[in-house]
């Protein structure tokens, strides 16, 4: 027998020992590859615009997931070497030199690491295809939800693969460098106690975490207000106290536990001491799984908060159909629309159609100069759409009085977030055709839910309206149409009307809602290029059913039946991306928890053996396993879920200074989602306990 | 065969330095079976680990044959461990994935000389120690005594100058312990093996030619075996008792 044959024989046994290592590498590479494929899929990149919040959230959670994957790969590598160390130590003790052992060890970890990583990378493809197509099959399928895989997405998994290999080699080198042979042999039973900070660290951790989160959340806004500049990425460093606080809380949990009642001195003694003496890695693991679970909750909460807002918005609309169009567009009139409706057996009622004009409004224009920003007065600052008092009354049935020389801004009843987007500091309106001006001042808000949001509507005194509207052309005026279905509505009619409307607009109306024609004219007059002309992705008349078109088009009609039916389809890619992120994070968190429980069991096998020898019954031993697993799984679950729920509530409150009805509904749905997550984690807990009992040969 | 001269070794924590061996000197002659005894913390395992080249020592010399172990580099020490020393550990230290025969051959495999002659020699050793019937079994499938005899056979496969045994009967019942001691006696009788054994067990030590008693890192007494095994065990027990009483008196003072 030669050294090579010996290596081959030992490797066969190692494959059994390396199961967890192979599993972790496989899972981490699979998750990273799947996430990369999804994140870099052209469909996702198109729907989640660059620089947008959704894209940032997707990338941020990817970073968290990647950190999590790195963490459990590190632990799995360490665990593999712990198991391997006895073998290496015995060979060293019997006279094997490092020169002899090095190639053997490197070959083994490289083969294992490479094989598991490549398999993981390969599995990432069917995994993402399965989820993507499963989503299309079970939840929603739209034309744009095509999965295109770009080979560039393999860059990140490849870097991760290299990291896995380097990590394995570095750990192998560290083991070979050891001089104490006995230490190497006994490695499996070595403890890693954590430095205790004292019982104050838990409560202090909670305070630091909460204070850190609030400070970091509001810091960019405060910084902007104080310095009139963007703080940049460094402001994210303010989140560091959140992690420090979290670490302190977890440290307290592992070392002391939380006792609200009088402590029973011997309860949990064995399990706590086991966990305490593996403290360093346990706390690190808990930290990573908490962050991942928080990421999972963040992603999955996105869905109900989006859906509930849309649900209530659609349900509470006063009219079934609402749309506006520029007066110079050849849009079907009342008769044509009624005829179209008749084709589907739908009759229409409550038809109202009123004109409006688009004026230039003066104000303090937002300007950027590098990282700094400032406000500068401009006569043509933004575009606003204006009704006369009479037309507004005709359209809404609301009787309003506007004093001459003043204007009202149309907002909604509940979500005053829209109010902040309206221009209320304007003092001069300009007819963009005749360049005639009108001096005004803001008087008040008027509530009308179905007109709130979008480009913003205002009301002028009838005489002022008439004066300023004089000479205006179809390009700067429009018509607002609203009506109801008399009796049962038909989705096919709504869809047909939508497509008919889209096809009746010319190219000059192929703009997103944020495209400001007044600002463009103002910029062009100064010789500047309007920013909207540089970045105008998303709206394309060729793709009226794409989510980009339906969410961004300036003249997107609001048809209740269509918005209700097409919601999932319109936001399909968003929903899928965030559900996908949830799946990745929750999988990674579950694997970390499982790995950690396995590690604790493997490292404490001798404790369980000793307890058996001391006569501990299987029920007692199983109870100890349950306590370990419970702490490892329950702690991140409680903290992660709680953190995200609080963050969501903070964001909801921060939006408009109150929690609205749709937000309460969203929180309710999030509650149901939390329950489902808890059930899933409970299943993982049960499986882990069962696996550990088997591993430790505990019956019953 | 083995000369230990004025050997010093201490362990350090961040704050304190604990001297364990305080100038130990002794020698073991070829073909001699020597036991080292002493209470816990007396330094016997540390002494064995220094001779085994597992841990470095601060002062003194260890000469194995003509070779001073203190001047060797890591490669040189590995070579000594492989070719000149044989090891028997308390918890056997067999590799679970290898059969009994393969475990015995490991030192030869490391030496790259596991040829037919080595295999025949392994068979001979297994025959000698009564483990030939388990030659193809794995460690998990055989008894503790068989495992330890496998370890004894492994320690002899390279015809080492010295066999170092650390509590070889510590994990065994009396019957298995007896079988292991018999294996050492056979190795000594048939192969003229030199054995240095650390043990707590006065029964096992009573089969040795000489017993070195350690107390607080120094040699308390060296006892040569005279007469039968049982009378030597009696003599050993009396001396150990005397040493313990002296220790107690000193502790009280």
**Per-residue model confidence as pLDDT tens digits over A239-258:** 889 889 988 988 888 887 77
Confidence of residue B129 (pLDDT cuts 50, 70, 90): confident
Largest CA distance in chain B: 63
* CA–CA distance, A241 with A214 (Å, rounded to integer): 11
Contact A93 B49 (CB under 8 A): no
**Per-residue model confidence as pLDDT tens digits over A385-425:** 999 999 999 998 888 999 999 999 998 765 555 666 788 88
Report the pLDDT averaged over residues A260-284. 70
Mutation target to probe the B interface, by most B beta carbons within 10 A, among A5, A87, A94 is A94
Residue among B55, B97, B112 minimizing CB distance to A10: B97
Which chain A residue is nearest to residue B73, measuring alpha carbons?
A97
B98 touches chain A (CB under 8 A): yes
Burial of A400 (0-12, 13-18, 19+ CB in 10 A): middle
Comparing CA positions, the residue from A506, A553, A541, A515 lying closest to residue A329 is A506
A687: helix, strand or coil: helix
Contact B111 A97 (CB under 8 A): no
Residues of chain B with Cβ-Cβ distance to A93 below 8 Å are 52, 54, 81, 87, 89, 93
**Percentage, residues of chain A above pLDDT 70:** 94
* CA–CA distance, A689 with A628 (Å, rounded to integer): 9
- Residue A537 pLDDT more than 60? no
pLDDT at A478: 94
Q: State the total domains in chain A.
A: 2
* CA–CA distance, A424 with A406 (Å, rounded to integer): 11
Report the pLDDT averaged over residues A599-626. 84
Report the pLDDT averaged over residues A593-617. 82
- pTM assigned to the model: 0.74
- What radius of gyration do chain B's Cα atoms show? 18
Which of A157, A190, A223 is the last residue before a domain boundary? Answer: A190
Report the pLDDT averaged over residues A513-524. 90
- Residue A536 pLDDT more than 60? no
Contact B93 A13 (CB under 8 A): no
Comparing CA positions, the residue from B221, B217, B216, B197 lying closest to residue B207 is B197
C-alpha A609 chain-centroid distance: 45
Residue among B78, B94, B114 minimizing CB distance to A97: B78
B95 touches chain A (CB under 8 A): yes
Higher pLDDT, A455 or A373: A373
A109: helix, strand or coil: helix
**Does A208 map to a domain?**
no
Higher pLDDT, A56 or A419: A56
Q: How far apart are the first and last CA of chain B?
A: 40
Report the pLDDT averaged over residues A293-313. 83
C-alpha B213 chain-centroid distance: 15
**Per-residue model confidence as pLDDT tens digits over A489-509:** 999 999 999 999 999 999 889
**Does A145 map to a domain?**
yes
Contact B79 A181 (CB under 8 A): no
Residues of chain A with Cβ-Cβ distance to B93 below 8 Å are 90, 93, 185
* CA–CA distance, B107 with B122 (Å, rounded to integer): 11
Please state, rounded to an integer, the average pLDDT across all residues of chain A: 85
Residue among A13, A87, A99 minimizing CB distance to B75: A99
**Per-residue model confidence as pLDDT tens digits over B39-70:** 888 899 899 999 988 888 889 999 998 889 88
Q: Which run of H or E residues covers position A149?
A: none
pLDDT at A618: 87
**Does A520 map to a domain?**
yes
Residue among B49, B81, B102 minimizing CB distance to A95: B81
pLDDT at A260: 63
Do the Cβ atoms of A74 and B55 come closer than 8 Å?
no
Q: Which tokens is B54 given?
A: 């597992």
Domain span including residue A31: 1-190
Comparing CA positions, the residue from A452, A550, A426, A564 lying closest to residue A499 is A550
Which chain B residue is nearest to residue A88, measuring alpha carbons?
B95
Contact B74 A98 (CB under 8 A): yes
B215 touches chain A (CB under 8 A): no
CATH 3.40.50.300 fits B2-43+58-252, yes or no: yes
**Does A695 map to a domain?**
no
**Does A697 map to a domain?**
no
Residues of chain A with Cβ-Cβ distance to B97 below 8 Å are 9-10, 12-14
Report the pLDDT averaged over residues A328-334. 92
- Residue A450 pLDDT more than 90? no
pLDDT at A207: 94
B11 touches chain A (CB under 8 A): no
- Residue A335 pLDDT more than 90? yes
Q: What DSSP character marks residue A528?
A: P
Higher pLDDT, A195 or A343: A343
CB atoms within 10 A of CB A124: 24
Higher pLDDT, A16 or A95: A95
C-alpha B158 chain-centroid distance: 16
- DSSP codes, chain B: -EEEEEEEEEEE-SS-EEEEEEEEEEEE-TT-EEEEEE-TTSSHHHHHHHHTTSS--SEEEEEETTEEGGG--HHHHHHHHHHTEEEE-TT----TTS-HHHHHHHHHHHTT---HHHHHHHHHHHHHTT-GGGTTS-GGGS-HHHHHHHHHHHHHTT--SEEEEESTTTTS-HHHHHHHHHHHHHHHHHH---EEEE-S-HHHHTTSSEEEEEETTEEEEEEE--S-HHHHHHHHHHHHHHHHHHHHHHHH-
Report the pLDDT averaged over residues A189-199. 73
pLDDT at A418: 61
B112 touches chain A (CB under 8 A): yes
Residue among B82, B96, B97 minimizing CB distance to A95: B82
Residue among A2, A3, A181 minimizing CB distance to B54: A181
**Does A421 map to a domain?**
yes
* CA–CA distance, A606 with B96 (Å, rounded to integer): 17
**Does A83 map to a domain?**
yes
Report the pLDDT averaged over residues B13-34. 89
- Residue A51 pLDDT more than 90? no
Which of A168, A190, A212 is the last residue before a domain boundary? Answer: A190
Residues of chain A with Cβ-Cβ distance to B82 below 8 Å are 94-96
pLDDT at A421: 75
Query: How many A/B residue pairs have CB atoms within 8 Å?
Result: 76
B72 touches chain A (CB under 8 A): no
- Residue A232 pLDDT more than 80? no
Confidence of residue B123 (pLDDT cuts 50, 70, 90): very high
pLDDT at B137: 93
* CA–CA distance, A542 with A529 (Å, rounded to integer): 26
* CA–CA distance, B223 with A318 (Å, rounded to integer): 108
Locate the domains of chain B by residue range: 2-43+58-252
**Does A333 map to a domain?**
yes
pLDDT at A417: 57
Confidence of residue A596 (pLDDT cuts 50, 70, 90): confident
B9 touches chain A (CB under 8 A): no
Comparing CA positions, the residue from A642, A648, A630, A646 lying closest to residue A684 is A630
Per-position b or e across A321-357, b if 16+ CB within 10 A of its CB = bbbbbbbebebbeeeebeebbeebebebeeebebbbb
pLDDT at A283: 84
Most confident listed range (A54-58, A374-378, A437-441, B56-60): A437-441
B52 touches chain A (CB under 8 A): yes
Three-class secondary structure assignment of B234-249: HHHHHHHHHHHHHHHH
- What radius of gyration do chain A's Cα atoms show? 32
Q: How many CA atoms lie within 13 A of A621 on its CB side?
A: 26
Those residues whose C-beta lies under 8 Å from the C-beta of residue A126, and which sit 6 or more positions away, are none
Comparing CA positions, the residue from A700, A644, A655 lying closest to residue A677 is A644
Report the pLDDT averaged over residues A18-36. 87
Mutation target to probe the A interface, by most A beta carbons within 10 A, among B80, B95, B98 is B95
- DSSP codes, A173-235: HHHHH---HHHHHHGGG---PPPP--TTHHHHHHHHHHHHHHHHHHHHHHHHHHHSB---GGG
**Per-residue model confidence as pLDDT tens digits over A639-654:** 999 988 888 888 888 7
Residue among A2, A14, A182 minimizing CB distance to B54: A182
């Amino acid at each position: 027998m030669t050294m090579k044959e010996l290596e081959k024989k030992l490797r066969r046994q190692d494959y059994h020992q390396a199961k967890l290592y192979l599993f972790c590498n496989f899972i981490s590479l699979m998750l990273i590859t799947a996430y990369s494929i999804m994140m870099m899929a052209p469909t996702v990149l198109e729907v989640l615009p660059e620089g947008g919040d959704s894209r940032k959230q997707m990338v941020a959670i990817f970073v968290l997931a990647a950190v999590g994957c790195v963490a459990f790969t590190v632990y799995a590598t360490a665990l593999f070497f712990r198991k391997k160390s006895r073998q290496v130590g015995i060979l060293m003790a019997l006279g094997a030199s490092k020169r002899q052992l090095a190639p053997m060890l490197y070959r083994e970890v490289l083969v294992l690491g490479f094989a598991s990583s490549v398999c993981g990378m390969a599995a990432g493809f069917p995994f993402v295809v399965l989820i993507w197509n499963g989503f299309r099959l079970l939840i929603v399928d739209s034309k744009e939800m095509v999965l295109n895989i770009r080979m560039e997405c393999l860059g990140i998994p490849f870097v991760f693969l290299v990291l896995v290999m380097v990590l394995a080699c570095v750990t192998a080198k560290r083991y070979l460098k050891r001089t104490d042979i006995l230490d190497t042999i006994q490695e499996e039973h070595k403890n890693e106690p954590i430095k205790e900070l004292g019982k104050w660290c838990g409560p202090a951790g909670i305070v630091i975490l909460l204070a850190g989160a609030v400070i970091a959340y509001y810091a960019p806004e405060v910084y902007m207000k104080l310095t009139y500049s963007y703080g940049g990425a460094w402001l994210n460093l303010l989140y560091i106290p959140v992690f420090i606080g979290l670490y302190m809380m977890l440290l307290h949990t592992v070392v002391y536990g939380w006792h609200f009642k009088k402590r029973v001195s011997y309860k949990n003694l064995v399990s706590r001491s086991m966990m305490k003496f593996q403290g360093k890695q346990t706390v690190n693991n808990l930290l990573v799984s908490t962050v991942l679970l928080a990421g999972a909750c963040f992603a999955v909460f996105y869905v109900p908060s989006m859906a509930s807002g849309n649900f209530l918005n659609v349900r509470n609309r006063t009219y079934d159909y609402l749309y506006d169009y520029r007066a110079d567009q050849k849009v079907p009139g009342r008769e044509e629309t009624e005829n179209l409706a008749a084709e589907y057996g739908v009759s229409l009622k409550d038809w109202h159609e009123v004109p409006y004009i688009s004026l230039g409004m003066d104000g303090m224009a937002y300007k950027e100069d590098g990282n700094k920003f400032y406000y500068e007065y401009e006569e043509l600052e933004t575009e606003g759409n204006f009704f006369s008092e009479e037309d507004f009354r005709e359209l809404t049935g609301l009787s309003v009085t506007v004093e001459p020389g003043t204007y009202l801004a149309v907002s909604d009843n509940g979500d005053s977030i829209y109010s902040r987007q309206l221009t209320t500091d304007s003092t001069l309106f300009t007819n963009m055709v005749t360049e005639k001006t009108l001096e005004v001042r803001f008087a008040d808000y008027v509530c009308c839910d179905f007109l709130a949001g979008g480009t913003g509507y205002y009301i002028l005194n009838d005489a002022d309206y008439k004066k300023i509207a004089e000479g205006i052309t179809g390009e700067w005026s429009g018509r607002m149409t609203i009506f109801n279905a008399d009796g049962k509505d038909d989705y096919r009619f709504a869809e047909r009307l939508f497509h008919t409307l889209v096809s009746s607009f010319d190219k000059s109306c192929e703009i997103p809602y944020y495209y400001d024609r007044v600002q463009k004219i103002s910029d062009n007059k100064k010789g500047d290029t309007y920013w909207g002309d540089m970045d105008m992705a998303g709206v394309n008349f060729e793709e009226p059913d794409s989510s980009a078109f339906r969410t961004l088009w300036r003249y997107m009609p609001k048809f209740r039946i269509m918005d209700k039916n097409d919601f999932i389809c319109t936001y399909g890619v968003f929903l899928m991306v965030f559900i996908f992120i949830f799946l990745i994070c929750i999988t990674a968190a579950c694997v970390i928890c499982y790995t950690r429980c396995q590690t604790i069991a493997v490292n404490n096998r001798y404790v369980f053996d000793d307890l058996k020898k001391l006569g501990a019954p299987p029920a007692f031993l199983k109870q100890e396993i349950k306590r370990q697993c419970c702490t490892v799984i329950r702690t991140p679950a409680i903290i992660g879920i709680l953190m995200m729920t609080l963050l969501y509530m903070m964001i909801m409150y921060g939006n408009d200074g109150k929690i609205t009805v749709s937000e309460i509904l969203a929180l309710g749905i999030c509650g149901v989602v939390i329950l489902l997550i808890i059930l899933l984690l409970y299943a993982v807990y049960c499986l882990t306990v069962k696996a550990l009992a088997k591993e430790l040969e505990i019956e019953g | 065969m083995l000369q230990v001269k004025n050997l010093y070794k201490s362990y350090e924590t961040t704050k304190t330095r604990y001297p364990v061996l305080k100038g130990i000197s002794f020698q073991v002659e070829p073909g001699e079976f020597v036991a080292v005894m002493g209470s816990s913390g007396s330094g016997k395992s540390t002494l064995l680990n220094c001779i085994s080249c597992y841990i470095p020592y601060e002062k003194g010399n260890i000469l194995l044959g003509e070779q001073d172990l203190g001047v060797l580099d890591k490669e040189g020490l590995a070579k000594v461990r492989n070719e000149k020393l044989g090891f028997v550990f308390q918890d056997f230290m067999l590799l679970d994935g290898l059969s009994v025969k393969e475990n015995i051959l490991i030192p030869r495999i490391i030496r790259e000389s596991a040829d037919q002659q080595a295999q025949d020699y392994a068979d001979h050793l297994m025959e000698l120690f009564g483990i030939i019937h388990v030659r193809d079994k794995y460690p998990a499938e055989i008894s503790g005594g068989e495992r330890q005899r496998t370890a004894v056979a492994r320690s002899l496969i390279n015809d080492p100058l010295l066999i170092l045994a650390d509590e070889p009967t510590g994990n065994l019942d009396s019957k298995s312990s007896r079988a292991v001691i018999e294996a050492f006696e056979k190795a000594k009788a048939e192969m003229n093996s030199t054995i240095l054994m650390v043990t707590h067990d006065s029964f096992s030590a009573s089969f040795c030619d000489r017993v070195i008693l350690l107390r607080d890192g120094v040699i308390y007494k060296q006892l040569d075996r005279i007469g039968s095994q049982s009378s030597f065990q009696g003599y050993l027990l009396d001396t150990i008792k005397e040493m313990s009483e002296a220790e107690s008196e000193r502790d009280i003072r």
